[in-house]
Amino acid sequence: MNIPRRIEPEWLDELPPGDPRAIKSRRDLRRINALMTNATCVARELTRSFRHGSPRTIAEIGAGDGRFMLRLAERTATRWKDVHVVLLDRQDIVSARTHEEFVSMGWQAEAVTADVFEWLAQSADRVFDVIIANLFLHHFDTARLTLLLSLAAQRARTFIACEPRRSGLALVGSHLLGIVGCNDVSRHDAVVSVRAGFDGRELSALWPATRAWTLRERAHGLFSHCFVASRVNSNRVAGHCGYL
Ligand SMILES: C[S@@+](CC[C@H](N)C(=O)[O-])C[C@H]1O[C@@H](n2cnc3c(N)ncnc32)[C@H](O)[C@@H]1O
C-alpha cells in the first residue's frame, strides 16, 4: 500500500510536561517502544557498528524522558564502560532516578533542554561517536529533515534512527493501541506518527550525498523502519577523540 507521507502536530508535543495526560502518554510510549522492539533494533545496530570497541559518547536527539536510552544502556553496559550520554529534548523531563540508573551502570547522562536544530548547529566541534533518534525524525517535513540530517552528519560518526514504518500494517496496529491501555494522546499520536513515518530508502535519499558514508535502511519487525549511516573512515571527522 502506497501511503502518502503526512505530517500533523502531535498532542504530546503540545501538552505541558506535567499534565497528567502527558505523563500517562510518556508511560504508554515505553510500552509502544516495547511492542515495536525498537531498543532491540537500535542495540543490534550499535553492537554491529562497534564490534571492535566501545562508543565513548552517544547523543539521543528527541530523547524524551531518557527511558529509551536507558533500555539501550541495559543491553550494552556490561561490555561498554564509561559511556557519556547526552539526552537532548526540548522538554526538561529526565528524572533524578533516570540519572541514577545510568550511574548504577557506570554511564553518565547529561540532559540538555534545547531545540534540536539550535543544538545541532552550535558547537560543531563536539562530535559524537553515535547520534540516535528514536520515534523522532517523523516529526519533521522533508525540508526540515534534510537540514536536520545534514547537521547530524557533521556531529556524528554513526547515526542510527528507528522510526514508525509508514505501512498498512503499522496503521492498523496504531489504531489498536487502546487494547493495551494507551490513552487518547498516545492513540492520536500513534496514528499521526505512522502517517508521518518512513518507507523504502526515504531517509537515505535525504542524507547528505557523499561517498564518506555507508547507508543502510530497512524494515524492522512489524511496525518500525531503521536507518543507519556510518562514516567510511571515522578518523576523518574533526575531533575524533570522543567527547569534546
Ligand atoms: C515521540 S517522543 C520520543 C521520545 C523518546 N525518543 C522515546 O522513544 O521514548 C518525541 C520527543 O521529541 C521531542 N521533540 C519534538 N520536537 C523537538 C525539537 N524540535 N527539538 C528537541 N526535541 C523535540 C518531544 O519533546 C518528545 O519528547
Atom of ligand 1 lying closest to residue 62 CA: 12
Return d(Cα 44, Cα 21) in angstroms, integer.
32
What is the position in ligand 1's atom list of the atom closest to the CA of 38? 8
Ligand 1 center–CA 33 separation, angstroms: 13
Residue-number span of the structural domain to which 151 is assigned: 11-236
The rounded Å distance from CA 36 to ligand 1 centre is: 17
Is there a domain that residue 123 lies in? yes
CA of 23 to the centre of ligand 1 (A): 14
In a domain, 210, yes or no: yes
Amino acid at 121: A
Q: What is the pLDDT along the chain (244 residues), one digit of tens a residue?
A: 689 999 999 999 999 999 999 999 999 999 999 999 999 999 999 999 998 889 999 999 999 999 999 999 999 999 999 999 999 999 999 999 999 999 999 999 999 999 999 999 997 778 999 999 999 999 999 999 999 999 999 999 999 999 999 999 999 999 999 999 999 999 999 999 999 999 999 999 999 988 899 999 999 999 999 999 999 976 444 333 333 3
Q: Looking at the domain assignment, is residue 244 inside a domain?
A: no
Q: Find the 211 Cα to ligand 1 centroid distance in Å.
A: 30
Angle, to 10 degrees, between the axis of helix 38-49 and the axis of helix 67-76? 50
Q: What letter represents residue 159's amino acid?
A: F
In a domain, 243, yes or no: no
pLDDT value at position 132? 98
CATH number assigned to the domain comprising residue 226: 3.40.50.150
From 174, 183, 176, select the one nearest 223 (Cα to Cα): 174
Cα-Cα-Cα-Cα dihedral sign, residues 38, 40, 41, 46? positive
Q: Name residues contacting ligand 1 (CB within 6 A).
A: 13, 29, 33, 62-64, 68, 89-91, 115-116, 134-136, 139
CA of 241 to the centre of ligand 1 (A): 28
Nine cell digits for residue 183: 490513552
Does any domain span residue 79? yes
pLDDT of residue 244: 30
Our CA angle for 34, 63, 75, nearest 5°, is 50
* Nearest Cα to Cα of residue 128 among 64, 68, 85, 82: 85
Q: For residue 3, is it within any domain?
A: no
Count of domains observed in the chain: 1
> Which residue, by CA, sits nearest to atom 11 of ligand 1?
62
